[in-house]
Structure formats: C-alpha cells, structure tokens
Amino acid sequence: MANQSKSVELFDAKAIAPFFESKSLAVIGASTDPIKQGGRPVRYSLMSDYNGRVYPINPRADEVQGAKAYASLADVPGRVDCAFIALPAPAVEAAITDCAEKGVRAAVIISAGFAEVGPEGRRHQERITAIAREAGMSLVGPNCMGLMDIRRNFFPTFAPIFGFNGEARPKPGNISLVSQSGAFGAHAYELVRARGAGFSKWVTTGNQCDVEVSDFVAYMADDKSTDVIMVYFEGNRDADKLMAAFRKARENGKPVVLLKAGRSETGVKAAVSHTGSMAGSDAAFDGFCRQFDVHRADTVGELIDISVAAAAGKFPSRPRAGLVSISGGAGALMADYCDELGLAVPPLPKPAQAKLMKLFPFGSALNPIDPTALWGQDMSVLSASMETLLKEGGHDTVVLFGSTIGINEFNRVRFEEHIIPLREKYPNPLMVLSLLGAPELIQKWRDKGFLIYEDARRAIEVTAALAKFAPIVAGSRKFPARPRVPENLKIKPGRTFNEADAMGALQKAGIKFVRRRLATSRKAAQDAAARLGFPVVAKIASAEILHKSEIGGVALGLENKRAVGEAYDGLLGRAKRAAPKAALDGVLIAKQISGGVETILGVNNDPGLGPVVMFGMGGIFVEVYKDVAFRAAPFSKAEARAMIAEVAGHAVLKGVRGQAPSDLGALVDALHNLSLFAAANKDTIASIDINPFVVMAKGKGAIGLDALIEPK
C-alpha cells in the first residue's frame, strides 16, 4: 500500500485504539448462558485465547462459564480498558457511570431503546454520552452488535460468528468493516467468509452517540493490518470528519467500498428509524463518493465481491482489459460492459492476431477473442488466447467467459491442465473467470489466484473497480489538498439577502455577475437603465420575496426609459398585492445578456455532508433529465473540472454545430469560488441558487444573471 498520510486529523486515534488494543474486557450483564447476548463475548474470549483479562460482571453468580465473576465493576481488582454493556436500556446510565468511575477507556453498548425510538430515548442517549465525554471515555452504540479485532482475538460482540464446540476462531484477513447495522455486519461477515476471505477488524456503530463511522474509517486507514475498508452507511453528523476520514483512506492507499441505505424516501425513513441517523440527498452523496474515490456499491453482492477482490491485492496498471469468450455473444456483452464502465478493449497487434488465427481460422482474434467451438476439442486455444493478450497485447488484466466449463467433468479437467499452469507462469496479472462450478471447485481456483464470478457483468464491474483503485493503492495519483477557506468570506449570522445583496456577497467571493443597479425610485430606475445600456431587465428586490417570477416580479426586454418606468411601477404594484407584508427594497435594473450557454450553480446545506455544490446545464437538461453533479464544499479547481465533465450535457460547452467552445476556465473558477463561499458560511446559509449562470465563448468569461441566498 502507499505511504502513510500526514494529513491534519479531525479525530483522535487514541480514543479509538481501546476498542481494538485493550488488555482487559469487562462484560457488564455477563450471562452464564453462552448463547445469550451477555454470554457470547465471555465465551468467545475464552475460546479464542484472548491475550488479556476477561471480567464477567454478574451480581448473581460466582463464576460465568468457568471465569470468576464480579458483583460490580468496582469489585474488579485490576484496570479495565474496555467494557461490553448488555443491559436493558434503563440500566445503562448507571453502568456508564460505574465505567467512568472505574476509569474505563471505551465502552460498547449493545442495548436498544435510545435515539432510534424517539425523543425520550434520544434524551437518555444524550445523558450517557455526556457522562462518557466528561470522563474521557469513548462509546460505540447504543443499539449495535459490538465489534471485534480478529487478529488480536478480541471479541466484544454478540454476533453469531462461530460456534461453541471447539470450532476454529474466525479467519483473519485484511478487510475491515464498519457497519451502522449490526445484523448487516453479521451478514457481510458470513458472505466474506464464504468467499474464502477474512476480516482484520469488524465494527458495528449503531446509533453513533459518540464514535462515528468516520472515526473508524480513519483509524483503519492507518491500520497496518487493513488493506481494504468496507462500509455500510446510513448517515452521519460531522461532514468535515467524514471527508477527512475518506481523504486519509485515499491518501494511505486503502480502497473504500461502501453501500448506503436511503436512496428512496422510504429508505431514508427506514434508515432514520433504524439508527437515528440523518440521511441527506442521495444524489449529493453520490457526488461525495466520486469526490473521494469511494466506490459506492449498488448491491450487497457488489459490496462483497469488490471488497474481496481488492483484498487479493492485484490491480490493473491501466483501465483496459483483454477479453476471451467461448461465446461470441457473451464476448460482445463483455465489450459493452467495458465501454459502459470505462474500460478500454484495444485490439491485439496484427502479428498477434495472425498468430491466433492459425489456431482457429474461423474465429476472431481481435479483442474480444472468440476461438469458436474449437475449445471443446482443444482447451489450449483458451490458454493461448489469454497468454497472447498478456504477452503480446500488453495486457495485465484478462477476463475469460467460460460458461459451464466448471460443471462438465471432462471439460473441467482439461481446462485445469491449461489454465493453472498459465496462472503459475504469470503470477502477477489479474485473471478473472466468469463460469459456473461447484463451490469447492470455485474456492480451489480462487486459492490459485483467480477471481471467479457467475455473471460476466460482475466480472467486468470488479475489473473496472480495481482499475480505478489501482493508482490509489500504488500511490501514483496525486490528490489536491483541501482548499483553505478564507475567513473574509464569512457573512454575519442572521443576515437576509435581496437579489442585489446576494449578487454583491457572491461577487466579493469571486463569482462574476451582470452589471446592475438597485433603484428606489422611478427616475433612478430609468437613469440606471440608460447608464447600463438598453435592453435591460427589471426585477423586484426583496429579501422576503424569494421567487420573483411567481408573482410577476420580473420584466424582460425593456428597450427604453418609458418601458423601464412602466415596469418599475408595475413591479412594485404586483409585489404589494401579492405580498403586502413584505419589505420592498426597490427594483433591480440589470443589463440584459444574450448569447452564451446557460448553466445552473447552486448550494444546499445537506444534513449529513454540510454544504454541497450543484452544477447542471440549463433548460431541459436540468428540468427534464436532472443532469446535475454534486461535490461537498470546499473543493479544488481540479475537482470542479471533474464535476463539469460528469454532466452529460457538458459537451455543449465544448462547442457543437459550429458554436465556439465556452470559457470552461471561468466556469471552473466560479464553481471553486462558490465552494469556498459555501464552506465559509456553512453555519449561516441554507442554500444558494445562481440561475442562470451564463458561460460565454472562450476568453469571454462567465456571469450570473440571478442569485438567491437563503439563510439558515
């Protein structure tokens, strides 16, 4: 993995360490029954040769599962680093108080009945959190399934991870999981284990009353035994901390694969009721993941498959693939998938093609390679095709569609005779197989270093994800530093804005706007129009009328002073009738602009991500196609360029049908500056809308024609 980062941190690693590095564990509510929630951590610790002391706390027993029990935490003779609390919710506060008095450094609360059930539960949760913070103690939960450090045999969890009849402890690996759901964490554990991989650390965070997903991601980013970070996510409170955690993982060369609940309105409600988290805009979160190179999985299977593949440690040097298929149709499908997911499928050099065509004259040696049905007679055509892609095609990634080869015994044996020696001859390239076979056979081939999937699309999806991770893992990709947010961009809390005020504040932040004047009389409006030059636009100016067009508060195409005067009177009259209690600041007169490409810039203060900047093309692109991109503020100019390129309609900015290319540099500057302004005012501004923001021809700049700032 890449060198460790020296980024400025927004979390305290020392506060997280006791959850994994503790030398003593107290189980408060320890049960003599190893099946019960309070009994499992005791049993796991005794079974797994935990290199530390386990203290069962049970006032009704002298011993628990063969270990000496204590009536209270205060009776424990030695130091207690970590506590596992398995008590009904009403008893948790007293237990946390006992932990604080004992000097416990970290506590895991599995009890439910807190913020996830309503206001009273939230108040209870806030009380225990306050007690812990006053004592300098970190908390995980409540309403979680606990955690484990498999390499250290540390198991403060009630997850059903292994049995009680002498079975081996869980297999250690190099994947670490942070899950806001306990049951999902247990499910993911079994799926990873079924694929022959293992975990280093495994954490469920529940309600996140204290320690959040971001704290554990940051800790795992520095953890030498973690190579891949898997996340199940529902929501968070601290946007800056989440950004810092994902930035640290990226800079430290740790792929992050994430699955998020809450895409739909129903999913958002379920996430909130589940862990009491705050789930914001799904589209904004998509942009956030792209911003920090987090792979957002759409399904549980994708989450597991890509995480396990990344843990194998083989990454393509370039985003391209060599394809071999026993079916011409499947080869075409794989080529389509590659194109969709950003993988190139370059043809083999002609001498290499000629060489293969001698083996299968009626096939195709281009890429994808289709040796026709000859593979049924001679399996060497498959291995020869793969080797040619590796050796003469310059590929370090080969994907083979083999369909039922793993099921038919005769074919399987002959295939192994060729494919396994090829793997041994070329140990470093990524070899991906899409075929069917019995579980034991699939695992055997996985152990040989192949990635194997039934679905050809999944094979390509995994390959594409590994290609995107490759420069991060290698440390060859340079990441822009978090931009410094100037203090002078901050505005006073409680300030309200009419359109003129909004334009002025944003212009000071480096975003250009149309020439304009605020007029408070008919004559002043006419004089302003004459100075600006006709035609002009007139708009009502009021901090209390945010959507001017809805009340007829905009007049366009005013060609002379008479038209401006009539517009001035008409706008004020309509505004007074539509909003009689609104304070009117006058009429804004602005130069009417023609030409250029209309775009939209905006900011929304997302409950989980903080200020998020939106960019989209104007007109039908945003209204019908919802063709927009998002990034969390602040961000660099390079990120602004990536954001623009993400929008399908951005091709219009490059110049189409004879139109000159637009001034992309000016648009990039505006997005970057807007992100700084949004970040500076994250505590005071709810939203910003600049629509339209017109991008002129290259070298002519870009200007906003309308601005709206809504304070919190």
In DSSP notation, 270-293 reads HHHHHH------HHHHHHHHHHTT
Domains in the chain, number: 4
Give the pLDDT mean for 325-349: 97
Say what the pLDDT of residue 166 is: 54
Say what the pLDDT of residue 659 is: 80
d(CA 584, CA 325): 71
Place of tokens 């530390």: 52
Is 50 exceeded by the pLDDT of residue 7? no
User: 462 and 379 share a domain?
Assistant: yes
* Collapsed DSSP state (helix, strand, coil) of residue 149: strand
d(CA 521, CA 524): 5
Percent of the chain with pLDDT strictly greater than 90? 85
Tell me whether residue 38 is in a domain: yes
Say what the pLDDT of residue 266 is: 46
Domain containing 76 — which CATH number? 3.40.50.720
User: 158 and 284 share a domain?
Assistant: yes
d(CA 644, CA 640): 6
Tell me whether residue 489 is in a domain: no
Contact 132/210 with Cβ under 8 angstroms? Answer: yes
d(CA 459, CA 452): 7
Place of tokens 């359109």: 499
User: 287 and 388 share a domain?
Assistant: no
Tell me whether residue 487 is in a domain: no
Say what the pLDDT of residue 158 is: 96
Question: What are 294-314's pLDDT values in tens digits?
Answer: 999 999 999 999 999 999 999
d(CA 567, CA 275): 54
Domain containing 556 — which CATH number? 3.30.1490.20
User: 423 and 543 share a domain?
Assistant: no
User: 118 and 261 share a domain?
Assistant: yes
User: 333 and 215 share a domain?
Assistant: no
- Cβ neighbours around 478 below 10 Å, total: 8
pLDDT band at 6 (very low <50, low <70, confident <90, very high): very low
Tell me whether residue 501 is in a domain: no
Tell me whether residue 58 is in a domain: yes
User: 376 and 523 share a domain?
Assistant: no
pLDDT band at 624 (very low <50, low <70, confident <90, very high): low
Question: What are 644-698's pLDDT values in tens digits?
Answer: 999 988 889 988 776 889 999 999 999 999 999 999 999 999 999 999 999 999 9
Partnered with residue 587 across adjacent β-strands are 519, 540
Is 60 exceeded by the pLDDT of residue 371? yes
Tell me whether residue 485 is in a domain: no
User: 356 and 391 share a domain?
Assistant: yes
User: 631 and 604 share a domain?
Assistant: yes
User: 385 and 265 share a domain?
Assistant: no
Instruction: Locate 385 and state its tokens.
Output: 């095709």
Any residues with CB less than 8 A from the CB of 154 and at least 6 apart, and which? 20, 22, 25, 45, 50, 52, 148
Domain containing 669 — which CATH number? 3.30.470.20
Q: Which of 288, 239, 204 is nearest to 19 (CA)?
A: 204
Q: Which of 345, 324, 320, 346 is nearest to 401 (CA)?
A: 324
Q: Does residue 263 or residue 29 have the better pLDDT? A: 29
Is 70 exceeded by the pLDDT of residue 500? yes
Domain range holding 681?
Answer: 597-711
CA 350 to chain centre: 42
